[in-house]
Amino acid sequence: MLKVGPEGKQRIYSAPNLWHLFLAYPAETKQYLVPLLALLHPNWRLSESAAEVEVELLRKAHGNETLDRRHWAALVEQLGDESFARRQAADRAIRAADPAVLNYLQQLDFSRLDAEQQFRVRRIIEALSERLGDDTPEQTASWLSGDPSVWLILLNRSEAATRRQAVGQLTAMLGGPIPVDPEADPATQKTQLEQLRLRIEGLAAEDK
């Protein structure tokens, strides 16, 4: 959460994590947050890195690297199968999946998993987190690309080409067409984005 301005007149910018914040509010974070973070770590290039992450996200979209959350959900379900062989097969499949699966696993509600699933999911998260520990733009984009809310952010960009790519990714992730016209006028797009945001939040609540 980034708060700007005096008490009582503050503007508040919030996001699930730092990368979401940079993608959602590039101008505000560059103006207010980057100078503060530079005091802590002068070598951080967070604004530049966020721009590179966005480029990499769009490259993945252009390459049609779609994401199958339903398939991941089925694999997580299989982690609790009575058959040891099927549990092992699901474990291996998740570890070999696109790095975006890490974001999906981190958003799961563990209270809805049995003990075997919880144990395996935690181990997989640890392994994938170590693999993605360098936080390069490519690795970060792979992690973020599995989150529909990231593509919702990119649907709000001024460039129509970016909006079209975001529509394509969300259509693949959500399993069907979405009610958003990337060529619509700003007022119509605003209404459509709000409806889509509510739908995505509903799906996230179901995952939990």
Condensed to tens digits (0 to 9), the pLDDT of residues 31-63 reads 999 888 888 887 777 778 888 889 888 887 766
Domain ranges of the chain: 1-40, 69-131, 147-208
Q: Is the pLDDT of residue 78 over 90?
A: yes
Start-to-end Cα distance in the chain: 23
- Cβ–Cβ under 8 Å, residues 47 and 29: yes
The beta-strand segments (E) located in 19-130 are: none
What pLDDT, on the 0 to 100 scale, is given for residue 192? Answer: 92
pTM for this predicted structure? 0.68
Per-chain mean pLDDT for the chain: 86
Q: What average pLDDT does this structure show over 172-199?
A: 89
- Cβ–Cβ under 8 Å, residues 158 and 166: no
DSSP string, 156-196: TSS-HHHHHHHHHHHHHHTTS--S--TTS-HHHHHHHHHHH
- Cβ–Cβ under 8 Å, residues 165 and 177: no
Residue 153's pLDDT band (cuts 50, 70, 90) = very high
The percent helix, strand, coil of the chain (3-state, each to 5) is 65, 5, 30
What pLDDT, on the 0 to 100 scale, is given for residue 72? Answer: 87
